Amino acid sequence: MQIQGLRALDDNYIWLLSRNGRAWVVDPGDPTVVLDALEAAGLALAGILITHHHYDHTQGVADLLEQLNISVPVYGPANSRFDGISHPLQEGDRLDLDGWALNVLETPGHTLDHVSYWNAQALFAGDTLFTAGCGRLFEGTPAQMATSLKKLRALPDDTLLYCGHEYTWANIHFAAIAEPDNPDIDQRKRQTIECYRTGQPCVPAPLGEEKRTNPFLRFDLPPLRETLLARGAQDDDASLFATLRGWKDELDATGELEPRL
Ligand SMILES: [Zn+2]
């Protein structure tokens, strides 16, 4: 399967999967960039995958189907508020994209209706897990998000993370504050700055790198766990995660994590 990232809206990624002239899109928040990409590559849309209901991931669905004048499966979480899903999915379901199978994991926390899609090659994690970061809690609880992130942490190191937004700069700069003595984070920070300076995407990234450098996959491990306990966390996943997420939300609000080129 070929996987191409389409930049959309302010900082979204729409993932275009293609094989033998047929294509699937993940989270088409903008129909125009998808239509342009399909036409440029001579691809026929075969299906749409939705991770969660937010408009920047779903608002292109109706336009795509209408403008292409086709009916294709729209996969998404069974408990979604988005009403355009034709094929509702739950934990343990499997999709077959012309012989390329994807497994469905329920990963609530950012929203209550979030699913991630994965196989050995790729993880489409929507707004649950970002490169070097994770989604904000709009609907779920810290306990739900901590469970979702640990579920994704259990996936293989070689699997590539394809997430819903390009937030790597802010995320890795926060990671360097949260774990100042982690050489892997320091190296990734330098790589990320170079990536942004040259206009390259920082996504995808191998899950193994996320496990070494993403604080939201490390909140229960030393030395970050001790740092969070010192910042007032209780010694449980929900509290450790909530303390870390709250710390980043505070810094996000100051603007100091925004890209400076
Ligand atoms: Zn979202």
Name the class of domain 2-254: alpha beta
Q: Output the average pLDDT for the chain.
A: 98
- The answer to whether residue 11 is catalytic is no
Ligand 1: distance of its center to the CA of 47 in Å? 21
pLDDT score of 22: 98
Q: One of 30, 127, 220, 237 is an active-site residue; which one?
A: 127
- The answer to whether residue 114 is catalytic is no
pLDDT tens digit sequence for 234-253: 999 999 999 999 999 999 99
Distance between CA atoms of 61 and 159, rounded to whole angstroms? 27
pLDDT tens digit sequence for 201-237: 999 999 999 999 999 999 999 999 999 999 999 999 9
pLDDT score of 261: 83
Q: One of 114, 165, 220, 237 is an active-site residue; which one?
A: 165
pLDDT tens digit sequence for 32-88: 999 999 999 999 999 999 999 999 999 999 999 999 999 999 999 999 999 999 999
CB 117 within 8 A of CB 102: yes
Predicted TM-score (pTM) of the model is 0.98
- The answer to whether residue 53 is catalytic is no
Q: One of 53, 110, 114, 173 is an active-site residue; which one?
A: 110
Ligand 1: distance of its center to the CA of 36 in Å? 24
- The answer to whether residue 52 is catalytic is yes
The answer on pLDDT for 136 being more than 90 is yes
Ligand 1: distance of its center to the CA of 54 in Å? 5
Ligand 1: distance of its center to the CA of 52 in Å? 7
The answer on pLDDT for 157 being more than 90 is yes
- The answer to whether residue 87 is catalytic is no
Distance between CA atoms of 128 and 148, rounded to whole angstroms? 8
